Amino acid sequence: MTAFDPDSSTPAYRQIAAILRERIADGTYPPARMLPSIERLRQEYGVARNTARKVLDTLVDEGLAYTEPGMGTYVMDAEHERG
Amino acid sequence: MTAFDPDSSTPAYRQIAAILRERIADGTYPPARMLPSIERLRQEYGVARNTARKVLDTLVDEGLAYTEPGMGTYVMDAEHERG
DNA sequence: TTTCATTTGTCCGTATGTATT
DNA sequence: AAATACATACGGACAAATGAA
Protein backbone atom coordinates (compact mmCIF):
# COMPACT_ATOMS: atom_id res chain seq x y z
CA MET A 1 0.00 0.00 0.00
CA THR A 2 1.31 3.39 -0.95
CA ALA A 3 0.42 6.51 1.01
CA PHE A 4 0.53 10.12 -0.02
CA ASP A 5 3.05 12.34 1.74
CA PRO A 6 3.02 15.99 0.68
CA ASP A 7 6.43 16.47 2.30
CA SER A 8 8.09 13.68 0.38
CA SER A 9 10.78 14.57 -2.13
CA THR A 10 8.77 12.58 -4.64
CA PRO A 11 6.51 15.01 -6.51
CA ALA A 12 2.89 14.98 -5.43
CA TYR A 13 1.59 14.20 -8.90
CA ARG A 14 3.83 11.15 -9.16
CA GLN A 15 2.81 9.86 -5.76
CA ILE A 16 -0.86 10.16 -6.56
CA ALA A 17 -0.37 8.65 -10.00
CA ALA A 18 1.39 5.72 -8.32
CA ILE A 19 -1.56 5.23 -5.99
CA LEU A 20 -4.05 5.18 -8.86
CA ARG A 21 -1.75 2.92 -10.87
CA GLU A 22 -1.73 0.54 -7.95
CA ARG A 23 -5.51 0.54 -7.73
CA ILE A 24 -5.83 -0.09 -11.42
CA ALA A 25 -3.45 -3.02 -11.12
CA ASP A 26 -5.25 -4.58 -8.16
CA GLY A 27 -8.68 -4.15 -9.66
CA THR A 28 -9.95 -1.47 -7.31
CA TYR A 29 -10.51 0.46 -10.51
CA PRO A 30 -11.36 -2.14 -13.14
CA PRO A 31 -11.31 -1.53 -16.90
CA ALA A 32 -13.81 1.11 -18.05
CA ARG A 33 -14.32 2.35 -14.49
CA MET A 34 -14.19 6.12 -14.18
CA LEU A 35 -11.19 7.36 -12.22
CA PRO A 36 -11.56 10.13 -9.62
CA SER A 37 -12.14 13.46 -11.37
CA ILE A 38 -9.70 16.34 -11.14
CA GLU A 39 -11.97 18.02 -8.61
CA ARG A 40 -12.20 14.83 -6.59
CA LEU A 41 -8.43 14.38 -6.51
CA ARG A 42 -8.06 18.02 -5.56
CA GLN A 43 -10.35 17.53 -2.57
CA GLU A 44 -8.91 14.20 -1.55
CA TYR A 45 -5.23 15.11 -1.65
CA GLY A 46 -5.37 18.85 -1.16
CA VAL A 47 -3.51 19.63 -4.36
CA ALA A 48 -4.12 22.25 -7.00
CA ARG A 49 -6.22 21.65 -10.08
CA ASN A 50 -3.17 21.64 -12.31
CA THR A 51 -1.49 19.04 -10.16
CA ALA A 52 -4.53 16.77 -10.11
CA ARG A 53 -4.74 17.29 -13.84
CA LYS A 54 -1.19 16.14 -14.33
CA VAL A 55 -1.94 12.93 -12.45
CA LEU A 56 -4.60 11.93 -14.95
CA ASP A 57 -2.50 13.13 -17.89
CA THR A 58 0.29 10.88 -16.71
CA LEU A 59 -1.91 7.80 -16.62
CA VAL A 60 -3.32 8.60 -20.05
CA ASP A 61 0.20 9.05 -21.42
CA GLU A 62 1.09 5.65 -20.02
CA GLY A 63 -1.85 4.09 -21.79
CA LEU A 64 -3.47 3.09 -18.51
CA ALA A 65 -6.44 5.39 -18.97
CA TYR A 66 -8.31 7.39 -21.58
CA THR A 67 -10.28 10.61 -21.41
CA GLU A 68 -13.74 11.36 -22.71
CA PRO A 69 -14.08 15.15 -22.79
CA GLY A 70 -17.01 16.29 -20.74
CA MET A 71 -17.31 12.86 -19.19
CA GLY A 72 -14.29 11.77 -17.24
CA THR A 73 -11.12 9.73 -17.31
CA TYR A 74 -11.53 5.96 -17.41
CA VAL A 75 -9.41 2.90 -16.88
CA MET A 76 -8.20 1.56 -20.22
CA ASP A 77 -10.25 -1.29 -21.62
CA ALA A 78 -10.32 -3.43 -24.76
CA GLU A 79 -12.64 -1.04 -26.54
CA HIS A 80 -10.20 1.83 -26.22
CA GLU A 81 -6.88 0.06 -26.47
CA ARG A 82 -4.41 2.00 -28.55
CA GLY A 83 -1.93 0.52 -30.97
CA MET B 1 5.17 26.76 -43.88
CA THR B 2 2.99 27.01 -40.82
CA ALA B 3 2.42 30.28 -39.04
CA PHE B 4 1.31 30.96 -35.50
CA ASP B 5 -2.10 32.58 -35.07
CA PRO B 6 -3.08 33.32 -31.47
CA ASP B 7 -6.68 33.79 -32.56
CA SER B 8 -6.95 30.41 -34.23
CA SER B 9 -9.28 27.84 -32.75
CA THR B 10 -6.30 25.52 -32.71
CA PRO B 11 -4.66 25.77 -29.28
CA ALA B 12 -1.48 27.82 -29.15
CA TYR B 13 0.61 24.99 -27.76
CA ARG B 14 -0.42 22.69 -30.59
CA GLN B 15 0.33 25.29 -33.23
CA ILE B 16 3.78 25.95 -31.84
CA ALA B 17 4.45 22.24 -31.44
CA ALA B 18 3.48 21.78 -35.09
CA ILE B 19 5.95 24.48 -36.12
CA LEU B 20 8.80 22.85 -34.21
CA ARG B 21 7.77 19.43 -35.50
CA GLU B 22 8.02 20.82 -39.00
CA ARG B 23 11.47 22.24 -38.35
CA ILE B 24 12.65 18.96 -36.93
CA ALA B 25 11.36 17.16 -40.00
CA ASP B 26 12.99 19.53 -42.48
CA GLY B 27 16.31 19.56 -40.66
CA THR B 28 16.17 23.10 -39.38
CA TYR B 29 16.65 21.45 -36.00
CA PRO B 30 18.78 18.37 -36.66
CA PRO B 31 19.22 15.47 -34.21
CA ALA B 32 20.88 16.47 -30.94
CA ARG B 33 20.29 20.16 -31.64
CA MET B 34 18.86 22.05 -28.68
CA LEU B 35 15.34 23.29 -29.24
CA PRO B 36 14.30 26.79 -28.19
CA SER B 37 14.05 26.99 -24.41
CA ILE B 38 10.82 27.67 -22.60
CA GLU B 39 11.89 31.25 -22.07
CA ARG B 40 12.79 31.60 -25.74
CA LEU B 41 9.42 30.27 -26.87
CA ARG B 42 7.70 32.55 -24.42
CA GLN B 43 9.43 35.58 -25.90
CA GLU B 44 9.02 34.49 -29.49
CA TYR B 45 5.32 33.63 -29.40
CA GLY B 46 4.12 35.75 -26.51
CA VAL B 47 2.69 32.81 -24.61
CA ALA B 48 2.84 31.98 -20.94
CA ARG B 49 5.59 29.89 -19.48
CA ASN B 50 3.28 26.96 -18.87
CA THR B 51 2.13 27.05 -22.45
CA ALA B 52 5.67 27.08 -23.81
CA ARG B 53 6.39 24.28 -21.40
CA LYS B 54 3.58 22.19 -22.76
CA VAL B 55 4.95 22.57 -26.28
CA LEU B 56 8.22 20.90 -25.33
CA ASP B 57 6.44 18.29 -23.21
CA THR B 58 4.35 17.38 -26.23
CA LEU B 59 7.39 16.80 -28.43
CA VAL B 60 9.06 14.74 -25.73
CA ASP B 61 5.90 12.65 -25.33
CA GLU B 62 5.92 12.05 -29.06
CA GLY B 63 9.48 10.81 -28.88
CA LEU B 64 10.72 13.64 -31.09
CA ALA B 65 12.81 15.21 -28.37
CA TYR B 66 14.36 14.50 -24.99
CA THR B 67 15.11 16.68 -22.02
CA GLU B 68 18.31 17.09 -20.05
CA PRO B 69 17.33 18.77 -16.77
CA GLY B 70 19.28 21.95 -16.22
CA MET B 71 20.42 21.91 -19.84
CA GLY B 72 17.65 22.02 -22.37
CA THR B 73 15.41 20.03 -24.68
CA TYR B 74 17.04 18.41 -27.67
CA VAL B 75 15.99 16.82 -30.92
CA MET B 76 15.92 13.04 -30.56
CA ASP B 77 19.01 11.27 -31.82
CA ALA B 78 20.35 7.71 -31.97
CA GLU B 79 22.04 8.01 -28.59
CA HIS B 80 18.77 8.76 -26.85
CA GLU B 81 16.33 6.69 -28.84
CA ARG B 82 13.80 5.00 -26.63
CA GLY B 83 12.42 1.50 -27.08
C1' DT C 1 34.69 26.72 -3.53
C1' DT C 2 31.62 30.10 -4.70
C1' DT C 3 28.89 32.61 -7.61
C1' DC C 4 26.05 33.48 -11.50
C1' DA C 5 23.09 32.79 -15.47
C1' DT C 6 20.37 29.53 -17.86
C1' DT C 7 17.04 25.88 -18.13
C1' DT C 8 14.00 22.49 -16.60
C1' DG C 9 10.80 20.67 -12.57
C1' DT C 10 7.03 21.30 -9.54
C1' DC C 11 3.18 23.71 -7.59
C1' DC C 12 -0.13 27.20 -6.53
C1' DG C 13 -4.24 30.25 -7.94
C1' DT C 14 -7.42 31.95 -11.38
C1' DA C 15 -10.15 32.49 -15.62
C1' DT C 16 -12.54 31.01 -19.61
C1' DG C 17 -14.06 27.70 -23.07
C1' DT C 18 -15.99 23.19 -24.57
C1' DA C 19 -18.47 18.86 -24.01
C1' DT C 20 -21.83 15.90 -21.87
C1' DT C 21 -25.66 14.78 -19.09
C1' DA D 1 -30.76 26.01 -17.80
C1' DA D 2 -27.69 23.78 -14.61
C1' DA D 3 -24.20 20.67 -12.95
C1' DT D 4 -20.15 18.11 -13.91
C1' DA D 5 -15.73 17.32 -16.08
C1' DC D 6 -12.13 18.06 -19.10
C1' DA D 7 -9.14 21.71 -22.20
C1' DT D 8 -6.55 25.71 -22.65
C1' DA D 9 -4.18 29.65 -20.95
C1' DC D 10 -2.57 33.31 -17.99
C1' DG D 11 0.34 34.74 -13.92
C1' DG D 12 3.48 33.89 -10.11
C1' DA D 13 6.80 31.36 -6.97
C1' DC D 14 10.55 28.49 -5.61
C1' DA D 15 13.60 24.35 -6.20
C1' DA D 16 17.09 21.59 -8.64
C1' DA D 17 20.51 20.71 -12.20
C1' DT D 18 24.06 22.22 -15.15
C1' DG D 19 27.89 24.73 -16.88
C1' DA D 20 30.71 28.71 -16.97
C1' DA D 21 33.30 32.25 -14.66
Query: What's chain A's average pLDDT?
Result: 95
CA nearest to nucleotide C20 C1': residue? A70
From CA B76, how far away is CA B20, in angstroms rounded? 13
C1' of C6 to CA of A1 (Å):
40
For residue A83, the model assigns a pLDDT of 66
C1' of D19 to CA of A20 (Å):
38
pLDDT average, residue stretch A7-12: 95
Contacts of residue A45, defined as CB under 8 A and 6 or more positions apart, other chains included, come to: A4, A6, A12, A16, A52
- Residue extents of the structural domains in chain B: 12-75
pLDDT average, residue stretch B47-74: 97
pLDDT average, residue stretch B7-30: 97
pLDDT average, residue stretch B9-30: 98
Contact A6, A46 (CB under 8 A): yes
- Looking at strand C, which nucleotides approach a protein CB closer than 7 A? 6-15, 18-21
Give the percent of chain A with pLDDT over 90: 92
pLDDT average, residue stretch A51-76: 96
pLDDT of B2 above 90: no
pLDDT of A1 above 90: no
Contacts of residue B70, defined as CB under 8 A and 6 or more positions apart, other chains included, come to: none
C1' of C10 to CA of A12 (Å):
9
- Looking at strand D, which nucleotides approach a protein CB closer than 7 A? 4-13, 16-19
pLDDT for B24-57, tens place per residue? 999 999 999 999 999 999 999 999 999 999 999 9
From CA A32, how far away is CA B82, in angstroms rounded? 29
CA nearest to nucleotide D18 C1': residue? B70
Nearest nt (C1') from B46 Cα: D10
Q: CA A72 → CA A32, A36, B45, distances in Å?
A: 11, 8, 32
pLDDT of B81 above 80: yes
3-state helix, strand, coil in chain B (%, to 5): 45, 10, 45
Q: What is the CATH number of domain A12-75?
A: 1.10.10.10
Going by pLDDT thresholds of 50, 70 and 90, the confidence category of residue B1 is confident
From CA B12, how far away is CA B45, in angstroms rounded? 9
From CA A13, how far away is CA A48, in angstroms rounded? 10
